[in-house]
Structures are given as structure tokens and as C-alpha cells.
Amino acid sequence: MLKVNAFEAHQAEHLPAQQQALIARRQRLLGPAYQLFYDQPLHLVRGEGVWLYDAAGCRYLDMYNNVASVGHCHPHVVAALARQAGQLNTHTRYLHEQVLDYAERLLASMPSALGNLMFTCTGSEANDLALRVARDFTGGSGVIVTRYAYHGITASIAELSPSMGEYVAVSNTARLVEPPYSCPQQPEQVAKQFAEQVRGALADMRMHGIRPAALLVDTLFTSDGVFADPPGFLAEAVALVREAGGLFIADEVQAGFARSGSHMWGFQRHGLVPDLVSMGKPMGNGHPLAGLAVQPQILERFGRNASYFNTFGGNPVSAAVGMAVLDVIEGESLQANALRVGRLLMEGLLALSARYAMLGEVRGAGLFLGVDIVDAQGEADGPAARRLVNLLREQGVLIGAAGIHSNILKIRPPLCFAEEHAQLFLHTLAGVLDKFQA
């Protein structure tokens, strides 16, 4: 996944000398593990709302960065960060009202059963902590994840993120299931098919003496290619895991914070109350803030015996930033905006898919959509998706790709993405498709 649409060293010879020098300096200082996006990497220097600006002053419509969830450099968020940073920043071993106010407000957006909130700095840390708590509570080690899932980069979570590639081996106590397939004609089959795979994974765990700890899923299945519908299809699989003694961990790092439009959290679309909810990225609009909501009875023994501390997780500055993000989501009606503009995007993409054969199925919810790129036989076409992503970048639109074949356009702009931005994207995409097929 990390190498999807990654810049390759041999492409540097076609770049200006100044950019080649910057790439070489980066390679020398940061080492070989980091990746750059696009055949022509971007040198970004400024962001505002849905726009990013490069060193030459060129403007790009950001269709990819859900991290800056309420828009790049939102003035209200920046002001809250600066104000608190000028007063105090320390850890959670001291009393401070800001973190408690934020915890109360964030938990109020979730079912009342989720009564405790633990803070981390990254979504990877949140999922790592969720795994520790789940294994402690259940006494099990087995985790069910989807075949191309991504949940983070700590050692234990990378082993549950098969999209990291073959070099990062999947844990021997993990079981992989296929993502829920899209079936608009028979939506009831989606729940049945997914539950049947989970049932099989649980049976295989029993056969190998592995006690289940959790089903861990991103509730929009974003790395798998964005599988959102029908609402409610997750419930049967979750019930099976709980019957077997495991827990349900809802990974809301990408799906949460009003992204789906219809709900604040992805798990709410399925009528579920998770045992644990991991959060990250959009929580701080780019500031390193993440967390884990937990049902208190699940946390009781872990908290008593293991305790928990994170030097910067839940510090006053992070809490102020998190509170400001919630202010903006509510004050600017960004959940309603995600629903309205997301529908416009969906309708526009469906219209384009009727005109252009290389656009296959369009899926998603709110401002998180996936579009299959296919060849003349209707099969996944990863190279064509990569070319399309890079052509869009040349026309000032930034987008990504997902899925096991890297052929699914991943569309997830900031939540302030407006109708005029959607129309600009659709117009640009149509122009690029015309050139692509010429």
C-alpha cells in the first residue's frame, strides 16, 4: 500500500535540477524507507481549506487528505493551538480541565456504553492500545482483519495490516477475510457473505487452538477499496465474534468524524455499539492527536494491573485542538455538507461511469468514495489507475488509489469540500478521461 503511486528513483532524471537536488537531499537524510507520491513529486509550502500550494505558487485541489479534516490551516483550529501552546503544554499526570472537557464532549457523540477515553498521538498507537486491551480482557490472541486492511505501523499492528506487503508478515494468530463485496442487486447477500467468512475464520482459530480476541475493521473498509453499503451489514459478523468470546474494535481513523455524512461515526451506520473505537488523523486536523474509546468494564482489569501513560497523548494543546475541530464540524455543519456534497459527487461520478468504460463501479458514503478503474474486459487495471492519478495531478487535482490491485480511485477531500469544488473535480476528471482515451 505504501508503494502505491510511489515516486521511483529512475523518474528523477526528467525533473528540474533543483527538484532532483531536494529529492537527493531527502534520500540522504531520511533514508530509503520513506516514499513520495506521484511520478512528479510535489513540493508543497502552504495549505488553505481544500487547497494546497507548491513552491512555484501552483494551486492543487486536495481530494485526498482526510487528515486535515476541517480544511488545511483552519483559522479557528490554528488559533486554539497557538493560544494553549502559549499557556501550558504538559502530560496527563497533572490535573487539567481542558482534556476532561474534551473527553466529555467527544464521548457525548458516541453511545453511552463507551464511557472511557484514552489518548494517544497516532492512530497506530490507538489500535495498538486497543489490541492490548482486547487481548487482556478476552484472554485471547486471535484477530480477524480484512485481506487488504491497513491499521497502523507499530510492530503488533503492522502484523494486522496485510496491505503493508509481503515483507511484513501477517501475525500467525490473525485470520484474513475478504472485504465485503458490493452487491446492489442483492444487498442482503453482503451481510451473509461477510459473516460466513468470519464464521470460517473463527472455526479455523478453534482448529488451531487460537482463542479469538477481536474483529478489527475500518468501518468503511477504505484500504480494501471503500465498501460502505448496505448499512447494517456488519452486525451479523460482529455477533458471531462476540458469541465466540471476542470483541469488536471499530477503526474509525478514516471513517469517523462525520466523514460518512449520515453519521458522526462509521459504526453508527451499522447500528452497532463497539467494544472499542480507535480514532486518529482527522481528530486533530493534522495535529498529532488520536485516541481510544472503550466500554469501562473492558478496561477495568487492564487499568488496574497494567496502567497507561502517554507523554503527549491528551496534553492540553492537543485537547484544545481537538475541541476546536469539533467546534468547526458542528459550527460549519460539516456533517451535513459531507452528505450533500458527497451525493453530488456520487451522482457526477455515476454519470461519468456511464460515458467512460474505464470507470467501473462507484461506491462510498459521504465524502469518502471509491471508483473502480477497469480494462476493456472489466478487470482491475492498476497501471491505468496510476496513470489517471498522475494525469489529475498534472491538472491540479490530488487523488489516491486503493485496493489490492491498486485500481480504485480513493476520494476523501476535507469536509469543507463544497459543491463548486465537486463540479471542478468532475469537469477536470472528464477532461483527463478524454485525453486518456484519445
Q: What is the pLDDT of residues 281-335, one digit of tens each?
A: 899 999 999 999 999 999 999 998 988 888 889 899 999 999 999 999 999 999 9
Q: Which CATH number among 3.30.450.40, 3.40.640.10, 3.40.50.9100, 1.10.1270.20 corresponds to the domain 75-331?
A: 3.40.640.10
Whose cell is 472511557? That residue is 116
The angle subtended at Cα 224 by Cα 293 and Cα 72, nearest 5°, is: 60
What pTM, to 2 d.p., does this model score? 0.94
Locate all alpha helices (DSSP H) within 177-224, ordered by sequence.
Answer: 188-207
Give the C-alpha separation, 213 to 248, whole Å.
9
**Phi, psi of 328, deg, nearest 5:** -70, -45
pLDDT of residue 31: 86
- Residue pLDDT, tens place only, 51-75: 999 999 999 999 998 899 999 999 9
Residue ranges of the chain that CATH labels 3.40.640.10: 75-331
pLDDT of residue 438: 63
Residue ranges of the chain that CATH labels 3.90.1150.10: 42-70+333-437
Give the C-alpha separation, 355 to 89, whole Å.
54
- Residue pLDDT, tens place only, 244-290: 999 999 999 999 999 999 999 999 999 999 999 999 989 999 999 99
pLDDT of residue 253: 96
Taking residues 131-146, report their average pLDDT: 97
Q: To the nearest whole number, what is the mean pLDDT of the chain?
A: 94
Res. 187: pLDDT tops 90:
no
What fold does the segment set 42-70+333-437 form as a domain? Aspartate Aminotransferase, domain 1 (3.90.1150)
pLDDT of residue 390: 93
pLDDT of residue 5: 65
Taking residues 347-353, report their average pLDDT: 97
